[in-house]
Amino acid sequence: MMTQAFYTGLSGLKTNSGAIDIVSDNLANIDTIGFRGNNYEFSSLFEEAINTDAGGSASSQSNTVGVGTTLQATPMVAEQGEMILSDRSTDLAIYGDGWFGVEGEVAGERYYTKNGAFGFDKNSDLVTADGYYVLGSIAGNIDGNTLTKRVDEIPLGDINDQQALRFPKYLVYPPEPTTSTSFMGNLGTDNEVRTMGSSVIDGENNKNELKLTFTQAEEQNPPGLIWDVVATVTSNDGATLYDTQTGTVKFDDRGALVSSTLTSIDNNGTSVDISLGEEFTGVVSISNLDITASSQSDGTVGGDLFGYDINKNGEVVATFTNGMQSSVGKIAVYHFQNDKGLDRASGTLFKESSNSGKAIFYKDANGQNIIGCELANFQLEGSNVNMTYGLTDLIILQRAYDANSKSITTADEMMQKALNMDA
């Protein structure tokens, strides 16, 4: 029994020492972004059965004497950590179930983390603070250093097709030439020259001026009015004339537009459709109302990359100096059947295991891959370690450690006395 007490105390020291290490590591990472703490689970070692007679009667009692404990498991604490506000749009937090995927320098070396403190490095690659590449889907709308298509939101690709989100450091939003311009306003009924104008973009990224000049025709056909219109396209400084077109605009006795023969004009190689509306929806000729003029054109001037940001949908958005934006990538969020089964690789990085199961994507009703959780930018998820519980556990474990240490000392003293008795 003395030997058994000795080894039982040793196992208790080892078990409680391991648990103290776990709790200490949890407390040391209480300020680590995205940290997931570990619990500890003890189990008994082999037990020895002892049968005793009850006062010589036929009945007997069966008891067991334990021979120590062991640290059976260290399951991950799954509770969500406290959300912390940040000042960067590239910082992300996951509300609910889900993990970000990251990759090291070695392709295919995939890890999962709750730490969404992301940023763009000097090469405009989206990385973690430790330099791991963030995984996601690429929009495929970049050719070299030119954006080929403006995209508001991209679908999440197949789970095996996720890749490091790498983007060009220099990116150009190409000019979109103006193809149509609509004019609105009131010419009135007085025999005076009226003008309307609009800016139009040509294929060389120049912003030119489209001007309409209205004068009342010499020959009228009452009760409505007829106006002659001259359209010109010039460079913005007026030094270059690209095209001139003329037409006739007719209004009825109410001032509503009846017809227009002015249809289009050349803008330095690009044809621009000219619309004056229908009846009262565009240009009118009504007396006793203010003289007004306005226009609306499509087309966009080109721009250079201003920077990359991340929105709350996990979209990586490129912003340009012309005010335009386009999604160029989407951050992937992975899910597991058993989050607690993930193996800790280091710090806040985890790897899938046979206990966690393979990483999966959630799908919507149409079978399309989705993030499957709520993301928030300008936020980070803090450690899920509770200091109060951690300190309490540390005190309990330390006292248990001391008790086991005392049992070894006691067993040792008993063995010394037994040896001295033999002497």
Question: What's the CA gap between 186 and 277, in Å, rounded?
Answer: 12
Q: At what angle do helices 387-422 and 2-28 cross, to 10 degrees?
A: 160
Q: What's the confidence (pLDDT) of residue 22?
A: 75
User: Tell me: the pLDDT tens digits for 4-44?
Assistant: 665 666 666 677 667 777 777 778 788 888 888 877 666 66
**DSSP character at residue 117:** B
Measure the CA–CA gap between 262 and 245, rounded to whole angstroms: 7
Q: Contact 169/123 with Cβ under 8 angstroms?
A: yes
Q: Which two tokens stand for residue 269?
A: 């190689």
What is the pLDDT at residue 157? 93
Which pLDDT band holds residue 403 (cuts at 50, 70, 90)?
Answer: low
Residue 106 clears pLDDT 80, i.e. is over it: no
| pLDDT of 128 over the 90 cut | yes
Residue keyed to tokens 């200091």? 387
Average pLDDT over residues 368-390: 87
Convert the pLDDT of each residue in 212-242 to its tens digit. Answer: 999 999 988 889 999 999 999 999 898 999 9
| pLDDT for the residue numbered 346 | 86
Q: How far is CA 401 from the centre of its chain?
A: 46
Q: What is the mean pLDDT of the chain?
A: 86
Parallel/antiparallel/unpaired status of strands 270-275 and 180-186: parallel
Q: Does residue 53 surpass a pLDDT of 60?
A: no
pTM of the predicted structure, to 2 decimals: 0.73
Which of 225-234, 256-265, 346-355 has the least mean pLDDT?
A: 346-355
Which pLDDT score, from 0 to 100, does residue 394 have? 72
Domains, the chain, with CATH or none: 2-77+384-422 (no CATH), 83-173+305-381 (no CATH), 180-297 (2.60.98.20)
